[in-house]
Amino acid sequence: MKILISNDDGYLAPGIVALAEVMASIAEIVVVAPDSNRSGASNSLTLDRPLSVTRADNGFYVVNGTPSDCVHVALTGLLAEKPDLVVSGINQGQNMGDDTIYSGTVAAATEGYLFGIPSIAFSQVDKGWQEIAAAARVARDIVLRRFDALQKPYLLNVNIPNLPYEKLGKVVPTRLGKRHESEAVIKEQDQQGRDVYWIGLVGAVRDAGEGTDFHATAHGDISVTPLQMDLTHRAQLANLSEAWV
Ligand code: MN
């Protein structure tokens, strides 16, 4: 099995180092990751300049671009053969509910999925890298399941509570929950006395009901949400069609 690995926290992040280590124990791996932290990059591609690829001491390929750039360059220019799987992460912090829209971790996996390759995004629920070895072990367990019952390609979004391996609950199939809108921006003044704005925190959870990713991880379980990329609102399409006759 050949696995392509990327992330959005950058090639030096403990999450991708741990993920690469466990994946190397079960597969042939290539790591292609951003040179810096590109969390929140979503699915953006760099179109206003060329990308460079360098090789780090540990063998990781490093791209001066976004997570989507990394997977895109790997699949269309760097790799001689298509991988069997793309994995992304392990992200520092949860990617649940509406987070998935902005996530570079999910985006790296999505890029693989859009090229027809089964892809999995992994995130730890809390920031700080506590129990990253346990999360990596979970990632390995999940990859080894192979999900024969799923349509291919699949795109899975996995969130893992920061718990020791023995304390982790079961793997639970979930749907995305929902958050309230984000907190307000944080206004500051720069050295010239001009107003500048930091994007604020994500909103509080609005739908964390049973069956959601929020609900599963709050109970110590590992959340696995199958994602799709067709943004069409089918019910609204019917309404729209009706409105036009
Ligand atoms: Mn991140």
CATH code for position 133? 3.40.1210.10
Domain assignment of residue 150, yes or no = yes
Q: Centre a 10 Å sphere on the Cβ of residue 29 and count the other Cβ atoms it contains.
A: 22
Return the pLDDT at 76: 98
In a domain, residue 185? The reply is: no
Separation between Cα atoms, residue 36 and residue 62, nearest integer Å: 9
Note whether residue 200 is domain-resident: no
Give tens-digit pLDDT for 19-35: 999 999 999 999 999 99
237 Cα: distance to centroid of ligand 1 (angstroms): 34
How many angstroms separate the Cα of 186 from the Cα of each of 176, 198, 204? 27, 5, 17
Domain of 78 in residue numbering reads as 2-177+207-244
Structurally, how many domains does the chain consist of?
1
Q: What's the CA gap between 245 and 243, in Å, rounded? A: 6
pLDDT grade for 147, boundaries at 50, 70 and 90? confident
Ligand 1 centre from 58 Cα, in Å?
Answer: 21
Q: How far apart are CA 223 and CA 122, in angstroms?
A: 10
In a domain, 142, yes or no: yes
Cα–ligand 1 centroid distance for 40 (angstroms): 7
The alpha carbon of 67 and the centre of ligand 1 are apart by a number of angstroms equal to: 10
pLDDT, mean over the chain: 97
Share of the chain above pLDDT 90, in %: 96
Q: Tens digit of pLDDT for each residue in 186-209?
A: 999 999 999 999 999 999 999 999
Ligand 1 ion local residues (Cβ < 5 A) = 8-9, 39, 91
pLDDT at 116: 98
How sure is the predictor about 244, in pLDDT bands with cuts at 50, 70 and 90? confident
* 92 CA to centre of ligand 1 in angstroms: 5
What's the helix, strand, coil split of the chain in %, to 5?
30, 25, 45
Distance 104 CA to ligand 1 centre (A): 7
Average pLDDT over residues 171-197: 96
Percent of the chain with pLDDT over 70: 100
Structural domain includes residue 25: yes
**Is 97 inside any structural domain?**
yes
Residue 50 belongs to some domain of the structure: yes
Measure 66 CA to ligand 1 centroid, in angstroms. 11
Indicate whether 52 belongs to any domain. Answer: yes
CA of 236 to the centre of ligand 1 (A): 33
pLDDT tens-digit readout, 37-87: 999 999 999 999 999 999 999 999 999 999 999 999 999 999 999 999 999
